């Protein structure tokens, strides 16, 4: 057993979500959202780090790593899979591994709202899961895709970097493509999907304007598209998408979004009083009023639309926080810490 696998054994034993290894530093694990230093473990030397990285990188990834000084991949140990990021910090090699559960959890198991199931039953549209890095976006997407796989006869393609959850075809056909191994880019794989008789497309992340543009076009042409962005709420998400385009393209994209967008789900994982993490969330559902706000450049009014749209299934982030405080699931201090609008939260309490 090599040095990396010994630490992975500890990650499994402690129920940790993440493992961080850096050259000439003590390793760390993350348990229930908290980083814990492993002071009893020796610091990894440059030789050891080079040996580990050489072992886990494919030839293609090695070439990419030499050029970009970073690499993303999936690493398997026994029956456990880890999303792995390799990078360089002040000429020191570093590894960040996140554990991927063996079983794709259901939305109920993730403590997510039943309203999300409505989006898995659409035949076309554009649905985004947004939030900070490490707050469960990929798991939410995987759970939604698995719901489709369990219920419907569809042709599904996932485009990921790297592939995280492994799907087993049930009612649906599922193909999983990894950027850098199976396709040169997210955008290239999206273009390919138009020729593959695909119904549902999951794009792991929208990193560039070509990917965003093609994803929106796919939704417009009758595909159901799921993806993620590193934004904090619905209004910021719309603005981020539009800002990706040149000024002379934005009006057209605004019109496309106003009609193709199905919804935006924003989530954050918050420490639970009883231990572990629990999601708090916001849900924007596109309707005539929301569509008009997007088309008329009034995205700053979307938060008000969410606050008053509970009867249509919309969920306000602060109200979600308050509900979890009242249920004894999270502390009031963490509600304030994670709120994106503390003034509004204070008025509600």
Q: With 80 as the cut, is the pLDDT of residue 64 above it?
A: yes
Q: Single out the residue of 74, 70, 71, 83 nearest to residue 17, CA to CA.
A: 83
> Cα–Cα distance between 287 and 216 in angstroms, integer?
17
The answer to pTM > 0.85 is yes
Domain ranges of the chain: 3-100, 116-348
Q: With 90 as the cut, is the pLDDT of residue 161 above it?
A: yes
Q: Could you write out the DSSP letters of every residue in 262-311?
A: EEEEEEEEEE-TTSSEEEEEEEEE--HHHHHHHHTT-GGGHHHHHHT-GG
H runs (alpha helix) in 57-136? 59-68, 116-120
Phi, psi of 28 (to 5 degrees): -130, 150
* Token code pair at residue 114: 């039943």
Instruction: Answer whether CATH 3.30.70.20 is correct for domain 116-348.
Output: no
Which residues make Cβ contacts (< 8 Å) with residue 190, sequence separation at least 6? 159, 201, 203, 211, 214, 215, 218
pLDDT digits (tens, 9 = 90+) for 267-276: 999 999 999 9
Fold agreement between 3-100 and 116-348: no
Q: With 60 as the cut, is the pLDDT of residue 242 above it?
A: yes
Going by pLDDT thresholds of 50, 70 and 90, the confidence category of residue 148 is very high
Q: Single out the residue of 193, 122, 190 nearest to residue 151, CA to CA.
A: 122
> Cα–Cα distance between 141 and 190 in angstroms, integer?
17
Residue with tokens 């992340």: 205
Mean pLDDT of 170-190: 95
pLDDT digits (tens, 9 = 90+) for 36-58: 999 988 899 999 999 999 999 98
Helix (H, G, I), strand (E, B) or coil at 190: helix
Going by pLDDT thresholds of 50, 70 and 90, the confidence category of residue 187 is very high
Q: Single out the residue of 311, 314, 320, 323 nearest to residue 341, CA to CA.
A: 320
Q: How many CB atoms lie within 10 A of CB 195?
A: 7
Task: Please report which helix (H) or strand (E) contains residue 25, including its range.
Answer: none
Distances 16 to 74, 94, 312 between C-alpha atoms, Å: 17, 18, 38
3-100 fold: Beta-Lactamase (3.30.450)
What sign does the CA torsion over 316, 319, 324, 330 have?
A: positive
What sign does the CA torsion over 202, 134, 42, 13 have?
A: negative
* Token code pair at residue 171: 């009612």
Distances 292 to 167, 212, 262, 297 between C-alpha atoms, Å: 38, 21, 14, 9
pLDDT digits (tens, 9 = 90+) for 70-109: 999 999 998 889 999 999 999 999 999 999 988 999 999 9
Helix%, strand%, coil% for the chain, nearest 5: 40, 25, 35
Q: With 90 as the cut, is the pLDDT of residue 1 above it?
A: no
Virtual CA dihedral for 246, 250, 252, 257, nearest 10 degrees? 130
* Token code pair at residue 34: 């908290």
> Cα–Cα distance between 112 and 204 in angstroms, integer?
19
Going by pLDDT thresholds of 50, 70 and 90, the confidence category of residue 292 is very high
Phi, psi of 89 (to 5 degrees): -125, 110
């Amino acid at each position: 057993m090599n040095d990396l696998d010994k630490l992975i054994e500890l990650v499994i034993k402690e129920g940790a979500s993440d493992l961080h290894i850096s050259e000439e530093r003590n390793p760390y694990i993350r348990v229930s959202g908290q980083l814990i230093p492993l002071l009893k473990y020796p610091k990894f030397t440059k030789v050891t780090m080079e040996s580990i990285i050489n072992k886990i990188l494919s030839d293609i990834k090695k070439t990419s790593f030499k050029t970009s000084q970073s690499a993303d991949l999936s690493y398997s140990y026994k029956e456990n899979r880890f999303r792995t990021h390799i990078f360089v910090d002040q000429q020191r090699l570093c590894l960040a591994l996140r554990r991927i559960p063996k079983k794709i959890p259901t939305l109920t198991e993730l403590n997510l709202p039943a309203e999300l199931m409505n989006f898995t039953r659409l035949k076309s549209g554009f649905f985004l899961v947004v939030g900070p890095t490490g707050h469960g976006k990929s798991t939410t997407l995987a759970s939604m895709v698995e719901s489709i796989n369990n219920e419907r006869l569809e042709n599904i393609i996932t485009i990921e970097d790297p592939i995280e959850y492994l799907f087993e075809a049930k009612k649906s056909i599922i193909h999983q493509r990894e950027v850098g191994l199976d396709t040169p880019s997210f955008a290239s794989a999206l273009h390919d999907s138009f020729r593959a008789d695909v119904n549902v497309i999951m794009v792991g992340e929208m990193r560039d304007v070509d990917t965003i543009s093609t994803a929106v076009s796919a939704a417009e042409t009758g595909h159901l598209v799921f993806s993620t962005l590193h934004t904090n709420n619905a209004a910021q998400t719309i603005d981020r998408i539009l800002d990706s385009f040149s000024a002379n393209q934005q009006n057209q994209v605004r019109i496309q979004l106003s009609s193709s967008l199905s919804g935006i789900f924003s989530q954050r994982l918050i420490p639970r009083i009883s231990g572990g993490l629990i999601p708090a969330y916001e849900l924007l559902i596109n309707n005539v009023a929301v569509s008009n706000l997007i088309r008329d450049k009034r995205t700053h009014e979307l938060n008000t639309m969410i606050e008053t749209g509970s009867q249509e299934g919309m969920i306000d982030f602060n109200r979600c926080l308050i509900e979890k405080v009242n249920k004894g699931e999270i502390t009031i201090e963490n509600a304030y810490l994670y709120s994106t609008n503390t003034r509004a939260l204070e008025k509600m309490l």
